[in-house]
């Protein structure tokens, strides 16, 4: 009986996504992915927000978004002319990946209508699902889809009726907002010019080559954890300095990343490194981390992101309080 009820309500919830999907699909070119989003008209926005690693935790996510003024009580866009960048890993681990994706699909056109913008980037979990929807990390998401009567293979192929797959296939690899790079693992590839990176990202994603080392290899911009075996890159002074040098060589000031909830010792909260040249924003929403609503990064003045200087930024907590970012020197 519980199984029957679960499937019924799963399908009912899935059906509720349809209207949002229709609105989203009308403004999205199927099969087209920019690879990298580049934004320089930052003065058009009142603030820039960023978060990562929602991991299917819809209840935690909506609590945080309401506290930050991104959504209202009906879970509609309430942030006006805000630029909001989600830095990957919206799915897996938690119980409600479909609802998280459905929320992003719903909010994108709403944000645009209010003069704002929502950008949802790939994380390693989305990319790994699209490369192989049967991989072991996707078990919870697959079960959720199955309960809603949806084939995981259809989603990965962009053929499901809800448009979840098309939405995931439209996710860019990274975003550049002025002088800041937003990408899931933060690891910009060595010996790669910006134009080559943008071209490769667009080519790979439109070819749906999610299994390529450039996308999901162990040292990719979505997956990187250890540059030296046995040592996390963020605990390796040489690796951190090399990353900062690569970012500076692109004439960028900083990089914003998720992926690692304990990076640089910032467990359960956001933090900055070396005058905010590096910003870690995975605050541990996932059930295998802090299992809480986490925090959102806020750049108070979007124009700061056009400068080669430390921006004015803080973190917004789930109770609505704004807290100063802790900033440390590299390891």
How are beta strands 180-182 and 254-257 bridged, if at all? parallel
CB atoms inside a 10 Å sphere around CB 252: 18
Q: What pLDDT, on the 0 to 100 scale, is given for residue 32?
A: 85
User: d(Cα 25, Cα 30) in Å, to the nearest integer?
Assistant: 8
The full set of domains in the chain, from first to last, is 2-328 (3.60.21.10)
Q: What pLDDT, on the 0 to 100 scale, is given for residue 12?
A: 45
Cα-Cα-Cα-Cα torsion 92, 93, 98, 103, nearest 10 degrees, comes to -100
Region of residue 118 (left: phi > 0; alpha: psi -120 to 50; beta: else): beta
Q: Are 223 and 217 in contact (CB under 8 A)?
A: yes
Can you give the pLDDT of all 331 residues of the chain as single tens digits?
A: 444 444 444 444 444 444 444 444 444 444 589 999 999 999 999 999 999 999 999 999 999 999 999 999 999 999 999 999 999 999 999 999 999 999 999 999 999 999 999 999 999 999 999 999 999 999 999 999 999 999 999 999 999 999 999 999 999 999 999 999 999 999 999 999 999 999 999 999 999 999 999 999 999 999 999 888 999 999 999 999 999 999 999 999 999 999 999 999 999 999 999 999 999 999 999 999 999 999 999 999 999 999 999 999 999 999 999 999 999 997 7
In the numeric block, which tokens belong to residue 322?
């704004």
Angle at 287 between CA 132 and CA 13, to 5 degrees: 70
Report, in angstroms and rounded to the nearest whole number, the Rg of the chain calculated over CA atoms: 19
Q: What pLDDT, on the 0 to 100 scale, is given for residue 24?
A: 42
User: d(Cα 172, Cα 167) in Å, to the nearest integer?
Assistant: 10
Q: Are 276 and 298 in contact (CB under 8 A)?
A: no
């Amino acid at each position: 009986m519980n199984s029957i009820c679960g499937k019924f309500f799963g399908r009912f919830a899935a059906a509720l996504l349809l209207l949002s999907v229709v609105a989203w699909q009308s403004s999205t070119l199927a099969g087209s992915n920019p690879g990298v989003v580049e934004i320089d008209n930052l003065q058009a926005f009142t603030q820039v927000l960023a978060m990562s690693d929602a991991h299917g935790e819809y209840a935690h996510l909506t609590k945080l978004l309401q506290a930050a003024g991104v959504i209202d009580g009906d879970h509609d866009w309430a942030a006006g002319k805000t630029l909001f960048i989600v830095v990957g890993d919206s799915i897996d681990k938690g119980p409600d990946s479909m609802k998280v994706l459905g929320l992003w699909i719903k909010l994108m056109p709403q944000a645009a209508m209010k003069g704002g913008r929502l950008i949802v980037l790939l994380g390693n979990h989305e990319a790994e699902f699209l490369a192989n929807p049967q991989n072991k990390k996707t078990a919870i998401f697959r079960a959720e889809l199955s309960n809603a009567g949806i084939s995981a293979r259809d989603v990965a192929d962009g053929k499901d009726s809800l448009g979840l797959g098309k939405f995931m296939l439209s996710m860019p690899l990274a975003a550049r907002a002025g002088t800041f790079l937003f990408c899931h693992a933060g690891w910009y590839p060595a010996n790669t010019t910006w134009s080559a990176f943008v071209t490769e990202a667009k080519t790979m994603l439109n070819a749906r080559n999610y299994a390529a080392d450039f996308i999901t290899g162990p040292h990719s911009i979505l997956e990187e954890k250890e540059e030296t075996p046995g040592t996390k890159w963020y605990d390796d002074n040489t690796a951190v300095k090399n990353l900062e040098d690569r970012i500076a060589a692109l004439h960028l000031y900083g990089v914003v990343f998720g992926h690692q909830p304990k990076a640089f010792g910032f467990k359960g909260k956001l933090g900055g490194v070396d005058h905010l040249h590096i910003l870690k924003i995975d605050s541990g929403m996932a059930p295998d981390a802090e299992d809480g609503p986490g925090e959102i990064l806020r750049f108070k003045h979007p124009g700061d992101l056009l400068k080669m200087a430390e921006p004015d930024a803080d973190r917004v907590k789930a109770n609505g309080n704004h807290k100063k970012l802790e900033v440390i020197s590299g390891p």
